[in-house]
Amino acid sequence: MIATKIRSAFLAAVRGLALSVVTLAGSITLFVFTVVSLSLIVIGIGLFTTPVVLTGLRAYANQRRLLAAKWSDVRIPVPYRPMPADLHSGITGQVERCMLMLKDPATWRDVLWLLSDMTAGFVTAVVPAALFLYPVESVVLAAGLWRAFTDDAYWYGFVPVDSQATALLALALGCATFAVSLRLTPALMRVHFLLTKSLLAPTSEMTLAQRIDHLTETRHDAVDTSAAELRRIERDLHDGAQARLVAMGMNLGTIEALVEKDPAQAKKLLAMARESSAEALTELRDLVRGIHPPVLAERGLGDAVRALALRLPIETEVTVDLPGRAEAPVESAAYFAVSEVLTNAVKHSGADRIFADMHHADGMLRIAVTDNGQGGAAVGAGSGLSGIERRLGTFDGILAVSSPAGGPTMVTMEIPCELF
């Protein structure tokens, strides 16, 4: 226990010392560059330098966000507005980019954070390091260094060190300080990142604006997805069941003409018509299953995914821990997302086993699909995973993919919902 506390305090002290150096060097330099670049906008030069400087500032701030999460488990959301994809090229695009960055409230909060980081941020970073290292001085004094101060007493904290006895008293104070540092150093390091969060995290207004933008985007995606789904249904009906029904009607007309003249041929055509009707019925059932599987409506998400897994050519193990059912739109989105992931695994992974786990906790439906294939899956433009991400985004869901080269691949989906 003590060793763990010492290690934790030591890490916090080293990190605080490193951050104090970074805040002085990095924050001051970036602040100066930012101010100079902004002042040059009036003569036109700043229109070209400011986007570069602000991009560097955002990278610097994002690195601090990463350290906050990694070192002190302080999560700081990224508040920047996304750049539109249709920016102009050349000088016009550069000016447009500069103006968009300057209109982003997060830009000015970053600049304010630089001011805070080089002052209060420096103090909150260096104090943990000083608190942990200060007891070392008491050890040096007790070892005999106090003899170097013969004219005046050397003060260690509130102890005037002018003899071996007072040096030992300073050592006792150092030990007490060290004991306090074991408890406080990690907490003080967390204070630094909480101060960072107060300025780098989005405000409630920014969060609301991001929420509106996200809902607008997902609404468009939902409309596009629905339109594409309707076109698919229309195409499947036209090319499948409808074509078979038309052919069956033509066969029945021919049968009507042959039933008295050539009964044997009429019987053959009747058999063909019966086969066509069975195939058309099968295709209609598959189409209905693709729109909303009956087992999903009747028995819920868990049994629907189990039924889906039974039809796969790869051995698939499904684990379900759902004490209730979600709303029908959420179940449908989750089912088709899982179906797409499983289809991708069968087609592209080269796996021979797939594992699917579904459970609900803390108001979140979590689904993980893992295969032992070759890996290399990624969310990107044109991939099926991008479509899944958009489908889940309609319900504020998220998608995460871990797929190193050589595998395994794990696709994790989360959808906020309540079960009933």
Q: What is the DSSP string of 222-240?
A: HHHHHHHHHHHHHHHIIII
Strand order in the sheet with 364-371: 315-321, 353-361, 364-371, 409-416, 398-402
For residues 31-56, give the mean pLDDT: 91
Domain-terminating residue out of 291, 321, 349: 291
* Confidence label for 161 from pLDDT (cuts 50, 70 and 90): confident
Q: Is there a single domain that holds both residue 103 and residue 151?
A: yes
- Tell me, what's the pLDDT at 89? 76
Candidates 22, 254, 6; CA nearest to 117 is 22
* Chain segment 1-27, per-residue pLDDT in tens: 677 777 877 788 888 888 888 888 889
**279 and 309: one domain?**
no
End-to-end Cα separation, the chain, in angstroms? 44
**pLDDT score for 242:** 66
Q: Give residue-wise pLDDT tens across range 128-137.
A: 887 777 777 7
Q: What is the pLDDT of residues 270-302, one digit of tens each?
A: 777 777 776 766 666 665 555 567 778 788 888
Residues with Cβ < 8 Å from 49, sequence gap 6 or more? 37, 40
364 shares a domain with 240:
no
Give the Cβ contact number of residue 347 at 10 Å.
Answer: 9
Q: What does residue 82 show for φ and ψ, rounded to 5 degrees? A: -70, 145
Quick one: pLDDT at residue 264?
A: 76
Instruction: Write out the two tokens for 392.
Output: 């889940």
Do 188 and 223 lie in one domain? The reply is no
Same domain for 301 and 178: no
pLDDT at residue 241, rounded to an integer = 62
Q: How far apart are CA 107 and CA 91, in angstroms?
A: 22
What is the number of structural domains in the chain?
Answer: 3
The last residue of one of the domains, among 291, 306, 326, is 291
**235 and 181 part of one domain:** no
- The whole domain housing 57 covers 1-202
DSSP state of 83: P
The per-residue pLDDT for 337 is 87
Q: Are residues 156 and 221 both part of a single domain?
A: no
Round to whole Å and give the CA distance between 281 and 285: 6
Predicted confidence band of residue 30 (pLDDT cuts 50, 70, 90): very high
Q: Which residue has the tokens 């030069």?
A: 45
pLDDT of 348: 84
pLDDT number for residue 382: 53
pLDDT tens readout for residues 33-45: 999 999 998 888 9
pLDDT at residue 62, as a whole number: 93
Residues 195 and 325 in one domain: no
Same domain, residue pair 383 and 396: yes
C-alpha to C-alpha distance for 23 and 33, rounded to whole angstroms: 15
- pLDDT (0 to 100) of residue 7: 80
Looking at the structure, tell me whether residues 67 and 6 fall in a common domain.
yes
Per-residue pLDDT tens digits for 76-129: 988 888 887 777 777 888 888 889 899 988 899 999 999 999 999 898 888 888
How wide is the angle at C-alpha 34 spanned by C-alphas 30 and 39, nearest 5°? 155
**Backbone phi, then psi, for 239, in 5-degree steps?**
-85, -20
Same domain, 24 and 148: yes
The per-residue pLDDT for range 367-394, each reduced to its tens digit, is: 999 998 888 887 765 566 777 887 787 7
Instruction: Calculate the average pLDDT of the chain.
Output: 81
State residue 153's pLDDT score: 66
- Final residue before a domain boundary, out of 243, 269, 291: 291
Per-residue confidence (pLDDT) for residue 319, from 0 to 100: 92
Q: Please tell me whether residues 251 and 311 are part of one structural domain.
A: no
Cβ atoms within 10 Å, residue 271: 11
Is there a contact between 201 and 79 (Cβ–Cβ < 8 Å)? yes
CATH number, position 385: 3.30.565.10
